[in-house]
Structure 1
């Protein structure tokens, strides 16, 4: 999975500390049709339930270096 021109990218591997606040801020600023590509070093399993509760869908792809999670509004 690679970023497209129409989606925002947030790399949280370099964030010092818990990235949850940064992820939520990025999601809140998205347009309804704008996806977010989240780049992470581990499977953010606790995030998935929060995404579903807030009306987002996600697709996770694992590469040798990272996890890429494409997040979109359910009604995008």
Structure 2
């Protein structure tokens, strides 16, 4: 049985759910709730390791953002 997270306020199985609340539903109910955008499948958030002063590993988000590549258009006529 899949674990879901409510995206908005609604009632499921006789319980009032608010946005962000986690709950378990049957596979069929989960498919319908996700399809009508009342809920989404719960996912596990990965833990980011922090940089220690003794360690030279970079922390995610420390580096400068990479600029987006320029879009190539049609060559200009001479």
TM-score of the pair, normalised by structure 1:
0.28
**Which protein is bigger by CA-based radius of gyration?**
2
Report which of the two has the higher share of strand: 1
Report which of the two has the higher share of helix: 1
TM-score of the pair, normalised by structure 2:
0.28
